[in-house]
Amino acid sequence: MSAGDDKASLAEPGLGARMADGIRRFFDSDLWYSFTRSPVVVVSAVVTLIFVGSAVFAPLVAPYDPFDLAGIDLMDSEIPPVWTGGGDPRFLLGTDAQGRDMLSAVIYGARISLGVGFASVLFAMVLGVGLGLLAGYLGGTVDAVIMRIADVQLTFPAILIALLIDGLSRTVLPRDLHSDIWFYVLVLAIGLSFWVQYARTVRGSAMVERSKEYVQAARVIGIPPLLIMLRHVLPNVMGPVLVIATINLAIAVISEATLSFLGVGVPATSPSLGTLIRVGNDFLFSGSWWITIFPGAALALLVLAVNLLGDWLRDALNPKLR
């Protein structure tokens, strides 16, 4: 097998050819095969892409801009969806109590929800991988301290931690400051509950790598061993980290929605799906069910799709199940 390849690589194909080869190998791989075999997963991926796409391109996709106060007419308030009696073809999913188009509100809401979700996961990933690397490489007290903090944090339910951080920041910080940085506070609050999983995974791999020779060699040459280790540790942990990240994304979106529903998440000025649900909840009994149900359905669909993807990814990358 390998003898032939060595001789061929002496001819050094160009970058384009190598990329084409890489793409071809991907589509030939077990991963892609198992992906195409499962219609449910394909649908989930498509749904997720639709959500992400419309979130990124919201201004282009949404029929109206729900934040444009000039475009809202109070006379249009509480119009039901277009397929019920009393619907208006201008507003496919109806309007809310202020006359805002529900479809646009949901699209922009999903944008905020996904934005917070991705940011939290990214934050947690960077923090967790970083701390895990430190703990695994340095060992000793640093390792012990980091792991102890992790243990203590795990005894507490994440939602309470997030609630505390966000709720407190609301009251402790002056109002203007808070309205500017609520995003970062929220990302911090939610992201803090995820870092431990990444840290643990990376730490294990780091501990294996640190005793290898190339680390000593790097030290001799003068390159920071941590950087070198990163290059070797990352490929090993890429799979599990990806799986953790996907599952975390779903949880992050749910957490954000929950916090917003409880009133301590995304403010109503740029509402996420959770905020929309909270605001709409008051109208449930008075008959205008669509104000809360459509954001709810969108949330459920998004999380379901991400969960299915995460499940598939975990099974596909699990060497034991192959």
Partner 1 sequence: MIAFVVRRLLQSILVMLAVGFIAFSLFNYVGDPINNMVGQDTTLEQRQALRERLGLDDPFVVQYGRFLANAVQGDFGISYRHRRSVAELIAERAPATLELSLIAAALAFFIGVPMGVYTGLHRRGFLSQVFLTVSLIGISLPTFLIGILLILVFGVLAQDVNAAVGFTLVPQLPTFGRGDTVQLGWWSTGFLTKSGLLALILPSITLALFQMTLIMRLVRAEMLEVLRTDYIKFARARGLSNRAVNFGHALKNTLVPVITITGLQLGSIIAFALITEQVFQWPGMGLLFLQAITEVDIPVMAAYLMLVGFFFVIINLIVDLLYYVVDPRLRADKAVAAGHP
Q: In angstroms, what is the minimal distance from the CB of 173 to partner 1?
A: 11
Q: In angstroms, what is the minimal distance from the CB of 102 to partner 1?
A: 16
In the list 157, 217, 219, 268, the residue contacting partner 1 (rule: CB under 8 A) is 157
Closer to partner 1 by Cβ: residue 130 or 167: 167
Q: What is the largest CA-CA distance in the chain?
A: 78
Comparing CA positions, the residue from 167, 137, 135, 164 lying closest to residue 148 is 135
Closer to partner 1 by Cβ: residue 42 or 300: 300
Asked if 168 touches partner 1 (CB under 8 A), the answer is yes
Closer to partner 1 by Cβ: residue 66 or 310: 310
Asked if 163 touches partner 1 (CB under 8 A), the answer is yes
Asked if 167 touches partner 1 (CB under 8 A), the answer is yes
Q: In angstroms, what is the minimal distance from the CB of 128 to partner 1?
A: 20
Exposed / middle / buried, residue 46 (Cβ in 10 Å: 0-12, 13-18, 19+): exposed
Asked if 296 touches partner 1 (CB under 8 A), the answer is yes
In the list 155, 176, 227, 319, the residue contacting partner 1 (rule: CB under 8 A) is 155
Asked if 112 touches partner 1 (CB under 8 A), the answer is no
In the list 172, 220, 221, 227, the residue contacting partner 1 (rule: CB under 8 A) is 172
CB atoms near residue 25 (< 10 Å): 10
Q: In angstroms, what is the minimal distance from the CB of 157 to partner 1?
A: 4
Q: What stretches of 102-215 adopt beta strand conformation (E)?
A: none
Per this entry, what is the length of the chain?
322
Take residue 24 and report the two structure tokens written for it: 């071809």
DSSP single-letter state for residue 80 = P
Q: How many helices (H) and strands (E) does the chain have?
A: 14, 0
Q: Kindly identify the residues of this chain, within the stretch 242-271, that bind partner 1 according to CB under 8 A.
A: 250, 254, 257-258, 261-264
Asked if 304 touches partner 1 (CB under 8 A), the answer is yes
What interhelical angle do 102-138 and 225-262 show, nearest 10?
Answer: 140
Asked if 316 touches partner 1 (CB under 8 A), the answer is no
What phi-psi label fits residue 222: left (phi over 0), alpha (psi between -120 and 50 degrees) or beta? Answer: left
Q: Which residues of 270-299 are buried (b: 16+ CB within 10 A; e: fewer)?
A: bbbbbbbbbbbeebeeeebbbbbbbbbebb
- Residues at the contact surface with partner 1, assessed by CB under 8 A: 152, 155-157, 159-160, 163-164, 167-168, 171-172, 250, 254, 257-258, 261-264, 274, 277, 281, 284-285, 289, 292-293, 296, 299-300, 303-304, 307-308, 311
